[in-house]
Amino acid sequence: MLLDGARVTLAARTESSLRTTADSLAAAAATGGGRVEWIACDAMNAADVRKAVDRAAQGGRLDIAIAIPGGGNYSRILDYEDDRFLEEVAQNVWPQFLVIKYAGRAMASAGGGSIVAISSTAAIMSTPFLAAYCAGKAAVDQLVRVAADELGAHGVRVNAVRPGLTRTGATEGLFQPSVVSRFLAEQPIARTGEPDDVAAAVRFLAGPESSWITGQCVNVDGGHTIRKFPDLSDLV
């Protein structure tokens, strides 16, 4: 998006990571004529999310919002602590709701925009030992559909991307040969995902090329969802 000339505002909890990421994107910003800024934000905190949206919209309109937060831990359903299960569900859906609410308000008042949530293939596949994560991501998918239905009248589109096994800092622990081979056995396209695979789908849904698409959840997974989740029971 920076290469398209966009002014991008990054929002996350850790200032040092934000600075490092902003610096790494400076060259792309210069090439495309865009600009990158950042603001510290706890996505579980409504006031922080509202402040981040206000910062992104400062001096103009907010055209695009990307909601990424989420995560989970492996546990058998029978072993979950009661409060921990609820916390993990909230960790996946609450930040998405806050972004849709506050970014949606800003976009509606300005005449339109595009919101893209990051969901997961776990929203539609049985993913044993990730029950809270699955429940949270399934809630994200339904939230996206309802938000798209409500906000369409204001010119705001809402969609989601469901990544499969993609190499990021959060998933590095899964990238062991014995684990990766099990995933690839369940994928027609036998390679793992890279951040750029997901970014390309997000860019499409955020941009004008998808102007007649809303309320959709797009799988970016090498075809994993047409098969099944691998058996990881011996690792839990």
Residues identified as active-site: 133
User: For the stretch 44-77, what's the b/e string if a residue is b when 16 or more beta carbons lie within 10 angstroms of its beta carbon?
Assistant: eeeebbbbbbebbbeeeebbbbbbbbbebeebee
Q: What is the DSSP letter of 13?
A: S
Q: Which of 157, 180, 29 is nearest to 103 (CA)?
A: 157
Using a 10 angstrom Cβ sphere, with 0-12 exposed, 13-18 middle and 19 or more buried, the burial of residue 42 is: middle
User: In 3D, which of 202, 198, 221, 124 has the Cα closest to residue 158?
Assistant: 202
Residue 38: left (phi > 0), alpha (psi -120 to 50), or beta?
beta
Sheet containing 217-220: give its strands across.
64-67, 113-118, 156-163, 217-220
What are the φ/ψ torsions at residue 159 (nearest 5 degrees)?
-135, 175
The DSSP bridge partners found for residue 37 are: 9
Report how far residue 139's alpha carbon sits from residue 14's, in angstroms, rounded to the nearest whole number: 26
